[in-house]
Amino acid sequence: MSAEGGLDQPRWSVGALAKVAGMTVRTLHHYDELGLLRPSERTPSGHRRYTEADLHRLYQIRLLRQLGMSLEEIGGVLTGAADAGPLARVLAAHLGQLDEQVWRLNALRRQTRGLLVQLSGPTRPDPDRLLALLGSTTIFDGHLTREQRDFLDEHAFEVGPDARRRLDEEWPDVLAKVVGHYRAGDPVDDPEVRRTARRLVDVGETFAAGDREILRSMGAFFRENGRGVLRDVLPGQPVDDLGDGLWDYVARMYAALSAD
> CATH number of the domain that 75 lies in?
1.10.1660.10
Instruction: Render pLDDT for 7-44 as a digit per residue (tens, 0 to 9).
Output: 467 899 999 999 988 889 999 999 999 999 999 999 99
124 lies in the same domain as 231? yes
Last residue of a domain, one of 54, 80, 106: 80
Q: Is residue 5 part of a domain?
A: no
**Domain boundary residue among 61, 80, 99?**
80
- Average pLDDT (183-211) is 88
In a domain, 32, yes or no: yes
Q: Which residue has the higher pLDDT, 192 or 227?
A: 192
Own/partner pairs, 45-53, CB within 8 angstroms, 24+ separation: 47/13, 47/14, 48/13, 48/14, 49/4, 49/11, 49/12, 49/13, 50/11, 50/12, 50/13, 50/14, 50/17, 51/9, 51/10, 51/11, 51/12, 52/9, 52/10
How many residues would you count in the chain?
260
Report residue 207's pLDDT band, with 50, 70 and 90 as the boundaries.
confident
Q: How high is the pLDDT of residue 238? A: 79
- pLDDT higher for 14 or 149? 14
* 136 in the same domain as 70: no
228 with 177: CB under 8 angstroms?
no
Is 58's pLDDT higher than 50?
yes
pLDDT at 194 over 90: yes
Say what percent of the chain tops pLDDT 70.
75
Instruction: Tell me: do 153 and 28 sit in the same domain.
Output: no
Number of structural domains found in the chain:
2
pLDDT (average), residues 142-168: 71
User: Are 195 and 102 in the same domain?
Assistant: yes
pLDDT digits (tens, 9 = 90+) for 68-126: 788 888 888 888 655 667 677 777 877 887 777 777 677 667 667 766 766 776 665 55
Does residue 140 or residue 80 have the better pLDDT? 80
**Residue with the larger pLDDT of the pair 211 and 31:** 31
**Considering the domain boundaries, does residue 3 fall inside one?**
no
The residue range of the domain holding 52 is: 14-80
